[in-house]
Structure 1
């Protein structure tokens, strides 16, 4: 079986320009990117449309003009909520830009809504990267420095100690084995005891570690994974809603519908019907 690893090691080749800039231009309601985590800072500035981003499985709803900041070592994925979705994505190695932020282990606010200064800086970065005129790398780096300074002063929600930072990294790395196991076996009825054995911990110690790291119980996390898989299956429109619920591991159809609507803001049948309407319109 192909090994599932949610850790993504981004390698930025240009040491003088340790940043990746690109746009997501999506014309359907679907997953933007599969769940993963890495040590880099990732920013999504929404140019058009709306989406829900899941950071450590906590939903963050963004619309045009909003900035989504994915802090380092956060599990994250995203799903569009509108048929038209455009976003500017910037991924960079924080330690190459600011030892000050790294040293203070700053955690930025995940959702920043309609900030005019952030909008100006990000659109300047987009323009410089698009035109690539002489000196554009310097201009982009300058704008990123200004952006980071602004975020440090107004949008830091937490600064953690080196000890806590290292502990969080170790815990997430340890739990990565559990995440992989869940991704392979989410259709089964998994127990806390079974998951605890994967990382050689007692059930109580495992549950405490998981809740502390993820902010939710293992069962809630498993259901989140199932819901993500269900969304993808509904988009394919090969199975009806009841079949999808059963395939991803839900034994209670009503509970599946309730959890799905709570997570995405609409029912499973609405996704199924919407995809069907879109297919009919485009054919």
Structure 2
């Protein structure tokens, strides 16, 4: 494993059609093994249709409830956690799609460009225009899913309207926006460690090894990681391994013992215990469910 040298850490590349780089759809709940931090090259808008939970975004915690709208910038380190009955509409789009409109309105993407300065990831739920914003996102989804004639043009127009209203109405100029407790340099280091953990998930990582990757003491590293991710580094590693294990169990050719070893668990009993604790079912039950 190489140590941190700074620079860009690979982002998740979201594949989208060149002529229509846009997607909108619902996610129901957040499985425990999907609660992992990621960052990508698209912009994201989330509407909470029902339920409650919270987002970890660049080390800040945003609790959300039904009706809330959140904006996620490209390169934001983020993940969602469900607390109850979560249904979330997720909108993703390539900002390059809006280049022609930016010539007309250079401030159109300011809500993302000025995030943390003049805008918050969580839009003000008490704002009088929130009802209109929710309606626009629901209409966006309806048009996208209908695929009727000229639907792409209407989706584009609705997205422009949504962004323009956010830029006009939800700016927080002169108001104090809580600064991220994590610096950009520290975020880069955590991105690097997460990338190394995911690429080498079976390695018997120790806290000291992970901290050494980014030239931090174990206690300092553990503190920054927990504030960024919302959980300690070795617990996050367990989540990564269990995610890989669930995928491997779909292949009935692999014995459960082999799955455990390939995912970095030293004993079958420890694997079974952690799997049941975090996934909510035994490996055998998960295999039957995914294999059915």
Is TM > 0.5 for Structure 1 vs Structure 2? yes
Q: Following the alignment from structure 2 to structure 1, what is the Cα–Cα distance between the partners of residues 251 and 48?
A: 26
Aligned partners of 2:46 and 2:70 also within 8 Å = yes
Matched, 1:42 2:44: yes
Aligned partners of 1:25 and 1:86 also within 8 Å = yes
Q: Kindly report which structure 2 residues correspond to 1:61-100, keeping only aligned pairs within 5 A, or say none.
A: 71-72=72-73, 73-76=76-79, 89-91=91-93, 96-98=109-111
Aligned counterpart, 2:121? 107
Cα drift, residue 265 of structure 1: 3.3
Alpha-carbon deviations, 1:73-131, whole Å to 9, x = none?
A: 224499xxxxxx9975334659715367552452329xxxxx98776433311244444
Alpha-carbon deviations, 1:40-68, whole Å to 9, x = none?
A: 54246699xxxx99968xxxxxxxx9989
Aligned partners of 1:36 and 1:77 also within 8 Å = no
Q: Give the structure with the higher percent strand.
A: 1
SS at 1:270 equivalent: helix
Name which of structure 1's ranges 168-177 and 260-269 shifts more when overlaid on structure 2: 260-269
Q: Which of 234, 244, 247 is the matching residue for 1:232?
A: 247
Q: Following the alignment from structure 2 to structure 1, what is the Cα–Cα distance between the partners of residues 243 and 55?
A: 10
Q: Following the alignment from structure 2 to structure 1, what is the Cα–Cα distance between the partners of residues 249 and 286?
A: 7
Q: Which of 264, 273, 279 is the matching residue for 1:258?
A: 273
> Which has the bigger relative contact order, CA under 8 A and spacing at least 6?
2
Q: In angstroms, what is the RMSD of aligned CA positions?
A: 4.9
Q: Following the alignment from structure 1 to structure 2, what is the Cα–Cα distance between the partners of residues 195 and 256?
A: 22
Alpha-carbon deviations, 1:242-278, whole Å to 9, x = none?
A: 321221011243333333334333332222001222x
SS at 2:12 equivalent: coil
| Uncovered stretches (5+) of structure 1, i.e. residues with no partner | 57-64, 79-84, 110-114, 278-283
Q: Following the alignment from structure 2 to structure 1, what is the Cα–Cα distance between the partners of residues 14 and 276?
A: 34
Q: Following the alignment from structure 2 to structure 1, what is the Cα–Cα distance between the partners of residues 250 and 39?
A: 24
Aligned counterpart, 2:84? none
Q: Following the alignment from structure 1 to structure 2, what is the Cα–Cα distance between the partners of residues 232 and 53?
A: 26
Aligned partners of 1:128 and 1:139 also within 8 Å = no
Q: Which of 242, 247, 267 is the matching residue for 2:262?
A: 247
Name which of structure 1's ranges 141-150 and 247-256 shifts more when overlaid on structure 2: 141-150
Aligned partners of 1:237 and 1:275 also within 8 Å = no
Q: Kindly report which structure 2 residues correspond to 1:78-157, keeping only aligned pairs within 5 A, or say none.
A: 89-91=91-93, 96-98=109-111, 102-108=116-122, 120-129=135-144, 130-131=147-148, 132=150, 136=154, 137-145=156-164
Q: Following the alignment from structure 1 to structure 2, what is the Cα–Cα distance between the partners of residues 23 and 134?
A: 12
Q: Give the structure with the higher percent helix.
A: 1
Aligned counterpart, 2:22? 21
Aligned counterpart, 1:60? none
Q: Following the alignment from structure 2 to structure 1, what is the Cα–Cα distance between the partners of residues 196 and 269?
A: 26
SS at 2:208 equivalent: helix
Q: Following the alignment from structure 1 to structure 2, what is the Cα–Cα distance between the partners of residues 172 and 203?
A: 16
| Uncovered stretches (5+) of structure 2, i.e. residues with no partner | 2-7, 58-65, 82-86, 96-106, 124-129
